């Protein structure tokens, strides 16, 4: 049976990345964090002095980029991104973490030129199936025919708390109030934008993770995927 594409969407801080990674591991699938791709574009635009609303310059920037996943999707290598070691792409996995890259990503992701190119690259990455892809528009735009779709949410306070814990674990300084404000702003931008706004696909299973343990979240996701995969083979 062909291995399906699993689409995971939801707002910032709902636990998508860690849960998707764990789910992919359980299923033996690759994991694609599409937020990482928007973050990489944001970082590169800043590095090259491209204004985040300059569509022509952004289009030129993304046209020259391609992405490669290493270590089952845990590292993001970007080709066409400047200093390259050997024949592989530049590893931006560390540079894209942190709130500044998130802010840049949230802004470049409103631009249609950026979305168009990244969506095309994401479709290529998922073309063979056997992939858990997470983002904001995976079930609605990138893979509307995905075999299984989940939409992860959590209360804003809980999402801010989780983001703070994640940043602290990476050794960063955290201002929780600023973080909560930043999340609220990103929610607004992600949901209110004209192109591919964040919303659950009509056939997505919505999972509120506020009161669930991490294990319970991944268990619930796995149940949905296995049920859909078994009853609705592609
Ligand atoms: O999931 P994240 O925090 O890494 O995402 C960073 C930003 O990228 C977020 O503000 C929304 C945007 N994004 C998007 O518009 N579409 C996606 N498929 C993934 C992320």
Residue 109 CA, closest ligand 1 atom number: 15
Of 92-101, 138-147, 173-182, which one has max mean pLDDT? Answer: 138-147
In whole angstroms, give the CA distance from residue 196 to residue 45.
21
* Span from the CA of 35 to the centroid of ligand 1 (angstroms): 4
pLDDT category at 88 given cuts 50, 70, 90 is low
Residue nearest to atom 2 of ligand 1 (CA): 35
Ligand 1 pocket check for 73: Cβ under 6 Å? no
- Nearest to 18, CA basis, from 145, 198, 152: 152
Nearest atom in ligand 1 to 101's CA: 6
Judge if the beta carbon of residue 228 lies within 6 A of ligand 1.
no
Task: Kindly report, residue by residue over 2-23, the tens digit of the pLDDT.
Answer: 889 999 999 988 989 999 999 9
Q: Which range among 28-42, 97-111, 197-211 shows the weakest confidence by mean pLDDT?
A: 97-111
- Band of residue 85 on the pLDDT scale cut at 50, 70, 90: very low
- Tokens representing 104 are 């840049």
- In this structure, which residue's CA is closest to atom 4 in ligand 1? 35
3-state SS of 14-39 is: CCHHHHHHHHHHHHCCEEEEHHHHHH
> Which of the residue ranges 24-28, 80-84, 177-181 would you say has the lowest mean pLDDT?
80-84
Mutation choice for ligand 1 from 37, 106, 131, 185, CB with most ligand atoms inside 8 A: 106
Contact 94, 81 (CB under 8 A): no
Q: What is the pLDDT of residue 233?
A: 53
Condensed to tens digits (0 to 9), the pLDDT of residues 97-148 reads: 878 898 899 899 999 999 999 999 999 999 999 999 999 999 999 999 999 9
Q: What is the pLDDT of residue 95?
A: 87
Mean pLDDT, the chain, integer = 89
In a 10 Å sphere around its CB, with 0-12 CB exposed, 13-18 middle and 19+ buried, how is residue 69 labelled?
Answer: middle
Distance (angstroms) between ligand 1 centre and the Cα of 10 equals 9
Ligand 1 centroid to Cα of residue 161, in Å, is 19
With a cut of 60, say whether residue 86 has pLDDT above it. no
In the reported structure, the alpha carbon of residue 113 is separated from the centroid of ligand 1 by a whole-number distance in angstroms of 15
Nearest atom (ligand 1) to Cα of 122: 18
Q: Tell how far the Cα of 231 is from the centroid of ligand 1, in angstroms.
A: 31
Q: Name all domains of the chain by residue range, CATH numbers in brackets.
A: 1-29+130-172+198-234 (3.40.50.300), 34-128 (3.40.50.300)
Enter the pTM of the model: 0.90
Give percent of the chain above pLDDT 90: 59
Please report the pLDDT score of residue 171 as a whole number. Answer: 80
Confidence of residue 1 (pLDDT cuts 50, 70, 90): low
The two structure tokens encoding residue 91: 């590893």
């Amino acid at each position: 049976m062909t291995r399906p594409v699993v689409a995971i969407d939801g707002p910032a801080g709902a636990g998508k990345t860690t849960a998707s990674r764990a789910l992919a591991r359980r299923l033996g699938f690759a994991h694609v964090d599409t937020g990482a791709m928007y973050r990489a574009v944001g970082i590169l635009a800043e590095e090259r002095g491209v204004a985040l609303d300059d569509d022509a310059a952004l289009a030129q920037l993304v046209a020259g980029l391609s992405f490669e996943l290493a270590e089952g999707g845990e590292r993001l290598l970007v080709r066409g991104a400047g200093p390259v070691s050997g024949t592989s792409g530049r590893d931006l996995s560390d540079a894209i973490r942190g709130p500044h890259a998130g802010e840049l990503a949230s802004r470049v992701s409103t631009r249609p030129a950026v979305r168009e190119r990244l969506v095309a690259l994401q479709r290529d990455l998922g073309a063979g199936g056997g992939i858990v892809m997470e983002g904001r528009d995976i079930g609605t735009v990138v893979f509307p025919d995905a075999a299984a779709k989940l939409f992860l949410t959590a209360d804003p306070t809980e999402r801010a708390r989780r983001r703070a814990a994640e940043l602290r674990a990476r050794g960063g300084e955290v201002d929780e109030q600023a973080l909560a404000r930043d999340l609220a702003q990103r929610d607004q931008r992600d949901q209110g934008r004209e192109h591919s706004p964040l919303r659950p696909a009509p056939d997505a299973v919505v999972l509120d993770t506020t009161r669930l343990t991490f294990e319970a979240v991944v268990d619930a996701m796995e149940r949905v995927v296995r049920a859909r995969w078994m009853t609705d083979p592609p």
